Amino acid sequence: MERHTVTRTGEHVTTSTTAGRTPVLISDSYFERLRQDFPLLEQSVNGHPLVYLDSGATAQRPVTVLDAETDFLLTRNAAVHRGAHTLAAEATELFEDARATIAAFIGAQPDEVVWTSGATEALNLVAYAISNASLGRGGVATERFRLTAGDEIVVTEMEHHANLIPWQELAARTGATLRVIGLTDDGRLRLDQAEEIIGERTRLVCFTHVSNVLGTVNPVTHLARLAHEVGALVVLDACQSVPHMPVDVAALDVDFAAFSGHKMLGPNGIGVLFGRSELLNALPPFLTGGSMITTVTLESAEYLPAPQRFEAGTQQVSQAVALAEAVHYLNDVGVARVHEHEQHLTAHLLSRLAELPGIRLLGPASAEERSGLASFTVDGVHAHDVGQYLDDVGIAVRVGHHCAQPLHRRFGVTATTRISTYLYNTTAEIDFAIDRLATVREFFGADDDGANA
């Protein structure tokens, strides 16, 4: 199986592969060459070369990731942690090796990584486990998690629904109060509000590392310090950060973090919950059944330590193996280099968007203060029409409320168009998209005041 390796010499960074490709400098041309690893990007859509600018929703997968999952299914497929035969032992070893790979990627220990179906399940796992603790499940060890009336859960106005609704439900089940940190007009968190809201009644502070709409990169360590000073736990939505920038959960000082495989070159159906070991081992389980128990009688059960206590049922083994291969790919390219490339793309994107009349950008205006995505409105043209107009020439973008209705409501819009980049995108693709976008208002007859003619 071919895999990229990266070598640094002085100020230059080169890449080679086990197939013996000629080393090239890490530059636009290098990232253009990486596109060869992504077969899907070679196709045409509506008679035009595909320009895929929707990686914020789902990233494409390199051949090595596709091959890793196929190879497992062809040669190692078996249930893990259950059989004594050779295939089961080999599958279990690959499964746990994958866990160790992901743990190292985010600065965690293997027993702090729980496999889930995605970030949505990971966040719900924490919320429902705390709910179970609040009902008295788990004994004395769970006291620190129990919520009652008067306790407070803090979220922000920029949250994806997956990091908002679970906490709404937890508040409803326990009688706790949900409090919200608002946003500035340029899409940053109101840190003055955060300092006022996070207080002695706060039990949980749940927020996104990077907004999936605004691109805002939030000050995680600052918010974590505010939370920990009052004894609250921190839950981080890292879906838009782990694939795109170096993330060290220990350095960030968060208690839980969630992210999904399909946003970081990996397969669907696999996600990760990071939790500090002592917290995971104190929480009661969310799902129950096989593979998460030590002893079962007809009256009761005892549970395995974390992470297995949260992994009931048949696991996503081939997906975990493929996600580990995605991490190897990102490590070989260099996550810091991916981040630099995306910042370059974002700066170019913001500059080009600023040239167009009738475009309203949501979020910070500087590339240094945001991730590689930009959401915007077009005066006089609905976001869905913008998306279809771009798709007509093979440009794939995301339109809608992006599972963040409260955020859109805050800025007085119902939907936006979002361009999101990744390591396989180029400035030429952004130019093509912006040049097409420049003609959208004329096509739909939108006048200069933003009204439809």
Per-residue pLDDT reduced to its tens digit, 4-34: 333 322 222 333 333 333 333 346 788 889 9
State the Cα torsion 224-260-243-212 to the nearest 10°. Answer: -70
- C-alpha distances out from residue 283 to 126, 258, 270, 441, Å: 9, 16, 22, 54
- C-alpha distances out from residue 124 to 82, 281, 306, Å: 27, 17, 17
The pTM score is 0.92
CATH level 2 (architecture), domain 4-61+334-443: Alpha-Beta Complex (3.90)
Backbone angles phi, psi at 398, to 5 degrees: -100, 140
Percentage of the chain surpassing pLDDT 70? 92
Per-position pLDDT tens, the chain of length 453: 344 333 322 222 333 333 333 333 346 788 889 999 999 999 999 999 999 999 999 999 999 999 999 999 999 999 998 778 999 999 999 999 999 999 999 999 999 999 999 999 999 999 999 999 998 887 777 888 999 999 999 999 999 999 999 999 999 999 999 999 999 999 999 999 999 999 999 999 999 999 999 999 999 999 999 999 999 999 999 999 999 999 999 999 999 999 999 999 999 999 999 999 999 999 999 899 988 999 999 999 999 999 999 999 999 999 999 999 999 999 999 999 999 999 999 999 999 999 999 999 999 999 888 999 999 999 999 999 999 999 999 999 999 999 999 999 999 999 999 999 999 999 999 999 999 999 999 999 986 554 443
Q: Cα(first)–Cα(last) distance of the chain, in Å?
A: 57
- Encode 361-374: b = buried (16+ Cβ within 10 Å), e = exposed: bbbbeebebbbbbb
- C-alpha distances out from residue 271 to 116, 179, 205, 319, 327, Å: 5, 27, 21, 9, 13
Which stretches does DSSP call E strand in 215-342?
A: 233-237, 256-260, 271-275, 293-296, 301-303
Closest listed residue to residue 163, CA positions, set 276, 54, 273, 296: 273
Backbone angles phi, psi at 373, to 5 degrees: -145, 160
Domain ranges of the chain: 4-61+334-443, 70-330
Cα torsion angle, 325, 331, 333, 336, sign: positive
Model pLDDT, residue 68:
98
CATH code at 70-330? 3.40.640.10
Question: How far is residue 242 CA from its own chain's centroid?
Answer: 6
Closest listed residue to residue 163, CA positions, set 206, 224, 115, 195: 206
Model pLDDT, residue 357:
97
Beta strand pairing call for 51-52 and 48-49: unpaired
Considering 24, 104, 396, 403, which one is annotated as catalytic?
403
In tens, the pLDDT along 262-284 reads: 999 999 999 999 999 999 999 99
State the chain's maximal CA–CA distance in angstroms: 73
Amino acid identity at 75: T
Active site residue 239: no
